[in-house]
Amino acid sequence: MVNGEVPAVKLRAWWARRQWLDGGRHRGASAAQVLAATGWARSTGGAGPYLGLFARAGLRRAEVDAALAALEVQELPSARGRTYLLPAEDSALGLAAGAGSVETELAAAARQLGVTRDEIEQLCLAVTEVLSPVEPLTAKELHAQLGPAVRSLGEAGRRRGVATTLPPALGLLQSRGLARRVPVGGRLDRQSRGYLRWDRPAHGEAADLARRYFAWAAPASVRHFRWFSGFGAATAKAALAPLGLVRLPGSELLMPPELVDEFAGFTVPDEPAYALLAATDGLHLLHRDLPRLVDPRDADRPVPAARPAPAARSGRDGRGGRGGRGGQDGRGGRLLGEETDPRTHLVVDRGRVIGFWEYDPELRELVHELFVPMTPGLRAAIDAAEAFVREDLGDARSSGPDSPRSRAPRLAALRARGQ
């Protein structure tokens, strides 16, 4: 039991069901429908959105890319100023949710880098004059066209990751819906981005975001909501007040009243529902509370190494190159139950983390470690994910900076545990 009277296994299975990770009931849904029902997908230049949409609705990369090109889904700075993939119907709300973070960053730039608001506003005007609504320009191309209108912020700026005044201006334009950042080539799992002129005013109230969040993530605590939204205590309290949330017995978890009876009558399915998800999937990141998805018997498992380790290769029989239990290849003794965020992609069953996985693009194979015995259903789920990554994506990077080289220690650790 956790959270007082609510069994952990029920909570995990319920969260999985609300996240459409309950056995493929939603195959055929569109990308926009998935995101509207299960929540905005964190987009970090990696494979996360593709993996999440495939796991929930069987969507192939070409279908997601087509929805992005048609503006049915959009990649925008949203909650906490972070980039998410969200349905078009939520674009204005997403922009409004991220506006506060942009203002905070501008204030910090003014204090620490001597950047004035007037300077950024003037640069915004210059940027809008050169942006096109149809042909994106990269930041490098914008810099070349704007010339002296863009000012270097010197070594102090580079230390803060803001080398020039252009990033703050682009952030402000995006938050106002006047510029839209798009992936060059139309693929979300590539780092290169360009900017288009746009006209999509941001609007939405804090309560609108709270209502969306608890539809996706309930039961959740105020702490969970504040993490996702980035709201301070007073703003979060005001946002939650109109929702009439009900507290689950013996816990800090809250639920919309319209879901209370459904949750009370919910029982954990007998049949497994396997899914292979990115480390940044909403099942985890909507709450950012990884231990809630970890069974106590798995809490002491060492996490895969995050530093160089001897390379090891073995077969594809579910114990070697593609999985198996065993080994003590952690990083400095780090344990799964103590982690805030996953260090690898995850295998889950009814909301419980049952394994780790990564993709090896050189060998074109999915490498995994499982906490449970291999079954035909689990093998089918792994094979389907492997085929999807191989055929549609070519790799399963966790974020823009991820690469086969940086991933090598995790691959070696997963393989070593199967020996």
**Within this chain, do residues 158 and 104 fall inside the same structural domain, yes or no?**
yes
Same domain, 110 and 249: no
Mean pLDDT of the region 36-40: 98
Q: Enumerate residues 6+ apart whose C-beta is below 8 A from 323.
A: 355, 367, 368, 369, 370, 374, 382, 414, 418
Residue 200 scores a pLDDT above 50:
yes
Instruction: Please say if the pLDDT value at position 312 is more than 60.
Output: no
How confident is the model over 297-315, as a mean pLDDT?
61
Q: Let me know whether 13 and 58 are in one domain.
A: no
Of residues 165, 64, 72, 69, the one with CA closest to residue 124 = 165
pLDDT > 70? residue 317: no
Number of domains in the chain: 3
Q: Residues 361, 322: one domain?
A: yes
Please report the DSSP string for 210-252 in residue order: HHHHHHHH-SB-HHHHHHHH---HHHHHHHHGGG--EEPTTSS
pLDDT (0 to 100) of residue 306: 55
Mean pLDDT of the chain: 90
Question: Is residue 176 included in any domain, yes or no?
Answer: yes
Residue 244 sits in the same domain as residue 300: no
Q: Are residues 171 and 103 in the same domain?
A: yes
With 70 as the cut, is the pLDDT of residue 285 above it?
Answer: yes
Instruction: Look at residue 63 and tell me whether its pLDDT is greater than 80.
Output: yes
Task: State mean pLDDT over 232-243.
Answer: 96
Q: Please determine, for residue 342, whether its predicted confidence score (pLDDT) is greater than 60.
A: yes
Percent of the chain topping pLDDT 90: 84
Does some domain include residue 150? yes
The tokens for 410 are 């995790």
Beta-carbon contacts of 349 under 8 Å, excluding residues fewer than 6 positions away, are 272, 273, 274, 275, 372, 378
Query: Beta partners for 352?
Result: 349
- Minimum mean pLDDT range among 169-178, 217-226, 410-419: 410-419
Looking at the fold, whether 188 and 39 belong to one and the same domain comes out as yes
Whether 85 and 176 share a structural domain? yes
**Residue 13: closest CA among 5, 22, 4:** 22
Q: Residue length, the chain? A: 419
User: pLDDT at position 305, please?
Assistant: 66
User: For residue 268, is pLDDT > 90?
Assistant: yes
Is it the case that residue 417 has pLDDT exceeding 90? Answer: no
Give the residue-averaged pLDDT of 325-333: 42
- The pLDDT score that the predictor gives to residue 24 is 81
Asked if residue 142 and residue 176 are part of one domain, the reply reads: yes
Phi and psi at 94, nearest 5°, equal -60, -45
Residue 83's closest CA among 75, 73, 91?
75
Q: What is the mean pLDDT of residues 311-321?
A: 34
Domain span at 122 = 31-197
- How far is the first Cα of the chain from the last one, in angstroms, to the nearest whole number? 34
Does the pLDDT value for residue 334 go beyond 90?
Answer: no
- Rounded distance, CA 311 to CA 66, Å? 39
Asked whether the beta carbons of 408 and 385 are under 8 A apart, the reply is no
Q: What is the pLDDT of residue 183?
A: 95
Which one, of 82, 197, 188, lies nearest residue 135 by Cα?
197
Distance of CA 20 to the CA centre of its chain: 16
Q: How far is C-alpha 318 from the geometric centre of its chain's CA atoms? A: 28
Same domain, 36 and 169: yes
pLDDT at 378 over 70: yes
Which of 163, 197, 231 terminates a domain? The answer is: 197
What pLDDT, on the 0 to 100 scale, is given for residue 311?
31
Do 252 and 322 reside in the same domain of the chain? no
**Quick one: how many helices (H) and strands (E) in the chain?**
16, 12
Res. 77: pLDDT tops 90: yes
Residue 121 included in any domain: yes
For the stretch 359-373, pLDDT in tens is 999 999 999 999 999
Residue 333's pLDDT band, with cuts at 50, 70 and 90, is low
